[in-house]
Structure 1
Amino acid sequence: MKTVYNTATSLDGFIADQDNSLEWLFAVEGGAPGSEDSDALKETADFINGAGAIVLGATTYEWILEHEGDTPWPYQAPTWVLTHRELPRIEGDLRFASADTDQELRDLHADMVRAAGGRDVWVVGGGRLAADLARLGLLDEVAVSIAPVSLGGGAPLLDGRVRLRALEARLVGAFACLRYEVVRD
């Protein structure tokens, strides 16, 4: 069981553009489901389907709702949405929480690990959450698919200092896929 931040980023290190949109990702060759070079998406889908718990921020949750509509939550694993706001609820195993202190984040992570039942915890984002988990020694890996596009600004891949050790690098379609182990101090 690992806690893995698995995401896509622009070449200049942003997971969402300045409008908090992911549209840029789906415009990249091979970035849209059903495209010829959707290998990177298939690998991500395999990881997602194997995850035992998911955590993401409110902005990502709202983007998914906006683009998926009122359909049930697209993931089967229990999903924690970190927020301080009231957000729309849809059908699915969604758990809304906040983690303002290190101890609250540790407790929340422990809940996710229990719910995952020995499977991986998928950290969707954002970059601050991933960096905070790393700082607390709770993040094991960063798996990132780098898209061949530059955004010039937006939500950073990692919003904080995180030391990493390279485990794997390969080309999958148009994406450079990198996997790192988080170095614990």
Structure 2
Amino acid sequence: MTSTVYYVASSIDGFIADRDGRLDWLLEFGMEDFSPHYEAFLENVGVVVMGSTTYEFVLGEGLEAWPYDGRQTRVLTHRDLPVAVEGADIRFESGDVVDLHAEWVEAAAGRDVWIVGGGAIAAALADAGLLDVLDLTIMPVALGEGAPLLPLAGTRALEVQATTTYPSGAVGVTSRLT
């Protein structure tokens, strides 16, 4: 069964990017600790959804290959953006995420829909009751300000399913939204 999952890392004070939209603070931790969890998660992803800011960040990383190869990527935007990755299945769309959600689930073909970024997309889905899982890694750093993790319009209850402590001091919390 398809779940819509917001798989994300945040600072301990709830930001997914710093005030300049950068992730340098996150990348300093290295990804070795998190690779097994990430790889297991990614195996069950059929569709990747991100906003234009996340898309531009990924393109700016100078990657040799699209990191979500073999999965359809939906980029939410009202702007013209470059498709700079040959052979990647990247589709640009605009509109209400609630209206687009059913298309993502269908395209996922029984696998999960991963909300990569940003927090506003995940919050809109959560507010509409369409976000199933928050798979959050809380990094041991405080940013003070930046892009919020999940700017909800109202209160949402979460049921913790699992926790993981990493050698870096990060804590993973997987929760189902109720």
TM-score (norm 1): 0.87
CA contact (8 A) 1:40 1:173 kept: no
Q: How many Å separate the matches in 2 of 1:81 and 1:166?
A: 29
Distance between the aligned counterparts of 1:41 and 1:25, measured in 2? Answer: 14
Q: Is the 8 A contact 1:7 1:144 kept in 2?
A: yes
Specify the code of the residue in structure 2 equivalent to 1:13: G
The residue number in structure 1 matching 2:66 is 73
CA contact (8 A) 1:3 1:123 kept: yes
Task: Provide the rounded CA distance (Å) in 2 between the counterparts of 1:41 and 1:152.
Answer: 27
Matches within 5 A, 1:77-116: 77-90=71-84, 91=86, 92-99=88-95, 104-116=96-108
Whichever residue aligns with residue 102 of structure 2, its letter is: A
Q: Give deviations 1:120-174, integer Å, cap 9, x for gaps.
A: 1111121111111011111101010011111111111101133322222220222
Q: Does 2:18 align with 1:17?
A: yes
Residue identity over aligned pairs, in percent, reads 44
Distance in 1, Cα, partners of 2:46 & 2:23: 24
Q: Pick from 121, 139, 143 the counterpart of residue 151 of structure 1.
A: 143
In 1, distance between residues paired with 2:36 and 2:50? Answer: 20
1:165 to 2:166 alignment? no
1:64 aligned onto 2:58: yes
Q: Is the 8 A contact 1:83 1:97 kept in 2?
A: yes
> 4+ runs of 1 displaced by more than 3 Å?
none
Partner of 1:4: 5
Q: Distance in 2 between matches of 1:27 and 1:179?
A: 23
How far apart are 1:68 and its partner, in Å?
Answer: 2.4
Letter in 1 for 2:7: N
1:122 paired residue number: 114
Q: Secondary structure at the match of 1:133?
A: helix
Over the residues paired in the alignment, what is the CA RMSD in angstroms?
A: 1.4
Could you tell me whether the CA contact under 8 Å between 2:98 and 2:124 is conserved in 1?
Answer: no
Structure 2 counterpart of 1:78, one-letter code = Q
- Quote how far apart the aligned CAs of 1:84 are: 1.0
Structure 2 unaligned residues grouped into runs of 5+: none
- Give the C-alpha shift of residue 116 in structure 1: 0.7
One-letter code aligned to 2:46: G
Amino acid at match of 2:176: E
Asked whether 1:43 is paired with 2:44, we answer no
Kindly provide the amino acid, as one letter, of the partner of residue 41 in structure 1: S
Give TM-score scaled by structure 2 length: 0.90
SS at match of 1:113: helix
Q: Which runs of 5+ in 1 are unaligned?
A: none
CA offset at residue 74 of structure 1? 1.7
CA contact (8 A) 1:55 1:124 kept: yes
